[in-house]
Amino acid sequence: MNVEKNIPLESIALPTPPVIGVKILEAVKSENQSSEGLARIISSDPALTVKILQVANSSFYALPTKVDSIPKAITVLGTNTLKNIALSFVIAKEFNGDDDDGFKFNFFWRRSITAAAGAECLASMLDLNIEDLFAAALLQDIGIVIMYLLDKGKWVGALEDKKKDRIPSCEAEQRHFGFDHQQLGAQTLEAWGLSENIHLPIRYHHCVDDPPATHGTQAHLLMLSDMISSVYHGSHSEEKIEEIKKHLATSHGIDPMQVVEMVDTVAAKSIEIMSLFDIPEKDMKPFSQILQEANAELGRLNMSYEQLLKEYRQAKEKAERLAADLQKANDKLQDLAYKDGLTGLNNHRQFQELMDKELSRSIRYKRPFSLILFDLDHFKKINDTYGHPAGDFVLKKVSRVLGEAIRASDTASRYGGEEFAMILPETDLKGAAILCERVRKSIADQKMTTGDVDIRVTVSCGFTSYNTDFPKTTKAELIAAADKALYNSKRSGRNRIGFIRTPE
């Protein structure tokens, strides 16, 4: 995954940073700037001031004396720490909203706060003092919210692909957006002026083998903090705990019991921080308690291995049926979008897209292709004489002849009304003329019987070919040439073929 590649931000309507956030960043941007400016900005927002003092006096920092003012908080905690606390509150407030069918904001921030608490608990256990770690962990998935706000349809499509195809979020996002939430979040925070210690680990928190050496530890901690958060807010918690144990045993030699104790402390810290962010905790409990309750419930239910296996198989079969039904529904929608309802051939919209693809391929590889347009002769007379059901019958019979005449690489489309089109890759004028005449003769020889009526029809054909000596030939010019050749066939007496070279 190439996360080092930058997104062209000028092509994306990125959200602007909150006004007070800009002021906070400006206040600390210069090394010569005193802490008074930062204190003045924060103090101008009473609600933000209250929240920061609550954090400073919480068990998260466990300070020996009470902090009762922003200047004192800066003195005790430091300018950078206070800046990150303030920015965390400001950004979380700006990118929050009421839960709806598309995005669960409260769930997102519960998960983010748990990851931030997890990162701090990890650092404490590993005896690491890493600047900006809390803010980086809290904002590591901010790109997900921005994606949702940029294009809800694409975001929902990526979420559906992730579930249906069982692929990582980043891969699904790449399919729909061309980039993932790591890249978008990191570049947005960088554009807003946040520190490298925040945006660089975020860029690599799902690709921990790729980050620059200066921020590899931070990226690894973010990845582990995300796993800890998913223990509390995702599925397969026991499997994730085992994975966390394995990571920490391999990289730092941490005892598995110590890991479980650390994960348990994350719950209490998360609950405290959620209350400060006004995010409902949803009865969050330590993992060990959750596991005990689950085991007790399992014992009460007295579910045997065979019962569990049976239920698993049933659930799996149901999921597979649902996936198959979804695929069928998608295929049906695809047909409705690109197939002609009467004849089953490609419709006009699909024809235009196929022309674009074939012309692009022919230009790239300098290979010919041909376009044929067919028009039923005197078709209005058939409708007027025998009625529209008979006309529909004729259109379907002609479509069948066209479908049987083409190769696997060719395509046949209903161009509109009684007009049809064929696209013939790797075919020059001579090859197109042979196929065109074969189709004309085959249709003319057909006796189409519906009810007690025998109907005979003929077609006029016009065709042209893409000339590799003229690579600037456009789709419109090719269609116009085939259409003119068709008109000439009609004018010359119908039931015949004609061609025009492109360009003339």
Angle at 381 between CA 378 and CA 384, to 5 degrees: 155
Instruction: For residues 209 and 204, give the distance between their C-alpha atoms in angstroms, rounded to a whole number.
Output: 8
Among 196, 93, 194, 192, residue whose Cα is nearest residue 145: 93
Q: How many CB atoms lie within 10 A of CB 445?
A: 9
Instruction: For residues 373 and 421, give the distance between their C-alpha atoms in angstroms, rounded to a whole number.
Output: 5
Q: What is the DSSP letter of 3?
A: T
Instruction: For residues 3 and 186, give the distance between their C-alpha atoms in angstroms, rounded to a whole number.
Output: 10
Is 418 a residue of the active site?
yes
Among 184, 180, 223, 226, residue whose Cα is nearest residue 205: 223
Residue length, the chain?
Answer: 504
Instruction: Show the tokens assigned to 313.
Output: 């198989």
- Residues in CB range of 1: below 8 A, 6 or more apart: 170, 171, 174, 180, 206, 207, 210
Amino acid at site 83? K
Find the distance separating the first CA and the last CA of the chain, reported in whole Å. Answer: 48
Catalytic residue among 173, 190, 358, 418: 418
Instruction: Show the tokens assigned to 373.
Output: 């347009």
State phi, psi for 397 to the nearest 5 degrees: -65, -45
State phi, psi for 449 to the nearest 5 degrees: -105, 125
Among 178, 101, 117, 115, residue whose Cα is nearest residue 147: 178
Amino acid at site 194? L
Instruction: For residues 263 and 245, give the distance between their C-alpha atoms in angstroms, rounded to a whole number.
Output: 10
Are the C-beta atoms of 462 and 373 separated by less than 8 Å?
yes
Are the C-beta atoms of 350 and 339 separated by less than 8 Å?
yes
Secondary structure string (H, E, C) spanning 151-203? CHHHHHHHHHHHHHHCCCHHHHHHHHHCCCHHHHHHHHHHHCCCCHHHHHHHH
Kind and range of the H or E run holding 145 = helix 142-150
Are the C-beta atoms of 27 and 206 separated by less than 8 Å?
no
Positions annotated as catalytic residues are 418
